[in-house]
Structure 1
Amino acid sequence: MKVRSVFVSVLCCMCLLTGCRQNARQQEDGGNYPLMTLKPEDRQLSVKYSAVIEGKQDVEVRPQVSGTITQVCVEEGARVRKGQVLFIIDQVPYKAALQKAEAAVATAEAGEATARQTLEGKQSLFDDKVISDFELRTAQNDYKSAKATLLQAQAEMTEARNNLSYTEVKSPVDGYAGMTSYRIGALVSASMTDALIRVSDNSEMYAYFSLTEKQVLSLTARYGSLDNALRSFPEVSLELNDGSVYGQKGKIDVISGIIDKTTGTVSMRAVFGNKDKRLMSGGQANIVIPYDRTQCIVIPQGATYEIQNRIFAYKVMDGKAVSTPIKVFEINDGTEYIVEEGLQEGDVIVSEGAGLLKDGTVVSTVREEAAVKEGKEG
């Protein structure tokens, strides 16, 4: 029994040793790893960012004086022009205040004229040495006081006139009127928290989105400055919430240049035309930024492996797989990498299973030619 057990053990060891040798021989021979010869290709990549849509101008219209609404001059949803009257607040008290201010100005003007005539008379008497210097200075002070009273009255009249004009609540911009809950008889004031109505200029729409600090630093390093990066951006697309793509292209026109301390991101803005009024303020969408790369080296991601955030590929040199560090474009489609450094046209690489290879593995030239031939036929 003992002899039989020893015989079985020796037989198992021999089988294992044979298997290991066969595996090692397969690895040295290159196994069944496919190879590919690199050549320049064109690729278009894209990346999406969540965005919030706002109108070019979205203004909350508020009253600047208190009173009761006597007339609503706008229809909800209607097109309005800058300066168009939207609401009228009771004007009676403000007209009365203006009349009172105008009367005060008239009184002050009469007082100023009287004080000026008195001063002129005192000056003549003083020149003839009829009155003392004290009386002349008193007349001068009375005239200055009358002038100040006139200026104050004029200022109050201007304020009263402005307040009367504020009873006509006007649109500050061209755009479309929103909804309002204020009707004739409603009491409003300059301190109210709710707006009377919103006016939105939707002729152009802004889509606000954000990039991470790392992405912005990468752009700065690549283009030298944020201004250069801004000029380099291609036209962008807008993917709406229903999955459709907006018909007009947009342009990124603003990079804030300030990092939000809370989110660690930098805000950006793209502008889109809105002639058909399809875009609405407050909507959600995705900004799609395309990246066109021409005549670039493209390899499968399966041809690479990663160590400590560095990416490597196996280049075939003198019949052996040689581990080669590469630098890839930061944007990819999940299946391929665009190689920026480390590989060039004409290089032969192992196109799959790079994570299972070892540096120095022998790769058959015959297999390489077959793989290339199969790739051409496919």
Structure 2
Amino acid sequence: MAITVIGLASCNSPANKQMGRGPMPFPVQKVEKSNVTVYNEYAANIEGEENIEIRPKVDGFIDKIYIDEGSEVKKGQLLFKLSAETLNQQVNAASANVEVAKAQVVSAQVEVDKVSPLVQKNIISPVQLKTAESNLNAAKAQLIAAQADYMNAKENLDYTFIKSPVDGIVGSIPYRIGSLVGRSEAKPLTTVSNISNVYAYFTLNEKQLLQFNRQLDGKSVAQKIKSLPAVELILADGSVYDHKGRIETINGMVNPRTGSISYRAIFPNPDNLLRSGISGKVKLPSQVDNALLLPQKSTFELQGKRFVYVVDKDNKVKSKAIDISKSVNQNYIVTNGLEAGQVYVADGLIKLREGMQIIPQSGSTATGNNAAYSNK
């Protein structure tokens, strides 16, 4: 009686039930090649197209400040005025010296005019005429020097009116009215940033540089830069900037300390949304031709390696290790372990066992040609 019960129990076990049902259906797909645009993101520092430090060319006390931090200014707009009492006195003194020099020229000219006819009549020696002419030339030279001193003094006085060299946004102002400033100060009066366009600076390591350069057409650096595609900018809040940019320059040398090379992209900034000093990410597209794409859900990990179940001609599954280069959205780019045309199990891997026979159910391929993905 006990043997009969055991036999009945064994007939009703889950394993025997699965064997009785036979092979189970699983969705399968074929590995296909696709041309994929992969977007790599690189941390970037944003700077205005022109970041100009405003420094005084003469020493003096700040008399007036005409702008505030963050103000928009135009080229030629007055920013600061320095006290100018000493410089005013220097201009007045230089102007007086010019008048004196002019009088000396007139006096020397009169002497020449007086001596010249006397020499012609042999009344006096020609040496006296030469002396008078020499004195005239010296007076004229003194006048030129006095005029130069006056222009220099006047220019120094003009330097007390400090104007913006470009259109832009005013940065911080570390000084206040009454502060003594000069050419030797470590800090500038302020900084004016022209942000009508902004630069995004980012770096690639040596390996990335080699991969990137192999994809570019052209022999010279200029030709390679010209063939570069447009780039996008990811802002700090994760949003994509409305305007696309382009790479303008590639540094000619690899930094030996970091093993990286610097790139500079330029973006238009018509709404002044971007400011100098902010950070972001440059989103750079690269083309991968004939890539083998595999959905991430169709793989599993074991001991640090990635596997996929492939289906043989007898509809039996076999795990196969694969190498992947990038994770793009919900897919992997497979570099080794699979070939185009192979059939793999697309979903339900948790129910599979090595050598298990299945009923393949064909579905659409995981990806289409010319897909685009973002690799962060």
| TM-score of the alignment, normalized to the shorter chain, above 0.5 | yes
Q: What secondary structure is seen at the aligned counterpart in 2 of 1:259?
A: coil
Q: What secondary structure is seen at the aligned counterpart in 2 of 1:257?
A: coil
> Paired residue for 2:100?
107
Q: Say if 1:160 and 1:377 are closer, same or farther in 2 by CA, change over 3 A.
A: closer
> Paired residue for 2:229?
234
Q: Say if 1:291 and 1:216 are closer, same or farther in 2 by CA, change over 3 A.
A: closer
Deviations 1:73-126 (A, max 9, x none): 112222111111111111332222212111111111111222233234444444
Q: Percent identity?
A: 34
Amino acid at match of 1:195: P
Among 75, 92, 95, which residue is 2:88 paired with? Answer: 95
CA contact (8 A) 1:66 1:187 kept: yes
CA distance in 2, matches of 1:190, 1:176: 23
CA contact (8 A) 2:36 2:291 kept: no
Q: Say if 1:131 and 1:331 are closer, same or farther in 2 by CA, change over 3 A.
A: farther
CA contact (8 A) 1:255 1:268 kept: yes
Using the TM superposition, give the Cα deviation of residue 56 of structure 1 relative to its aligned residue in structure 2, in angstroms.
1.6
The TM-score normalised by the length of structure 2 is: 0.68
Aligned 1:1-378 pairs, distance under 5 A: 39-213=32-206, 215-216=208-209, 222-223=216-217, 224-292=219-287, 296-298=290-292, 333=328, 336-337=332-333, 348=341, 374=362
**Deviates most, 169-178 or 239-248:** 239-248
> Paired residue for 1:6?
none
Amino acid at match of 1:76: E
Deviations 1:125-178 (A, max 9, x none): 444444334333322322222122111101110011111111111111111222
Amino acid at match of 1:165: D
CA contact (8 A) 1:300 1:351 kept: no
Using the TM superposition, give the Cα deviation of residue 226 of structure 1 relative to its aligned residue in structure 2, in angstroms.
1.4
> For structure 2, which runs of at least 5 residues remain unmatched after alignment?
1-27, 297-323, 346-356, 367-376
Higher fraction of helix: 1
Q: Say if 1:331 and 1:152 are closer, same or farther in 2 by CA, change over 3 A.
A: farther
CA distance in 1, matches of 2:365, 2:198: 50
CA distance in 1, matches of 2:326, 2:105: 78
Q: What secondary structure is seen at the aligned counterpart in 2 of 1:43?
A: strand
Q: What secondary structure is seen at the aligned counterpart in 1 of 2:224?
A: helix
CA contact (8 A) 1:238 1:249 kept: yes
CA distance in 2, matches of 1:45, 1:377: 19
Q: What secondary structure is seen at the aligned counterpart in 2 of 1:185?
A: coil
Q: How many pairs were matched up?
A: 310
Q: Say if 1:119 and 1:301 are closer, same or farther in 2 by CA, change over 3 A.
A: farther
Amino acid at match of 1:87: F
CA contact (8 A) 1:219 1:226 kept: no
Q: What secondary structure is seen at the aligned counterpart in 2 of 1:207?
A: strand
> Paired residue for 1:314?
none
CA contact (8 A) 2:212 2:286 kept: no
Moved runs in structure 1, 4+ residues, more than 6 A?
35-38
Q: What secondary structure is seen at the aligned counterpart in 1 of 2:251?
A: strand
CA contact (8 A) 1:84 1:171 kept: yes
The TM-score normalised by the length of structure 1 is: 0.68
CA distance in 2, matches of 1:139, 1:62: 49
Using the TM superposition, give the Cα deviation of residue 260 of structure 1 relative to its aligned residue in structure 2, in angstroms.
3.3
CA distance in 2, matches of 1:377, 1:96: 86
CA distance in 2, matches of 1:140, 1:151: 17
Q: Say if 1:119 and 1:218 are closer, same or farther in 2 by CA, change over 3 A.
A: farther
CA contact (8 A) 2:171 2:191 kept: yes
Q: What secondary structure is seen at the aligned counterpart in 1 of 2:194?
A: strand
CA distance in 1, matches of 2:209, 2:287: 19
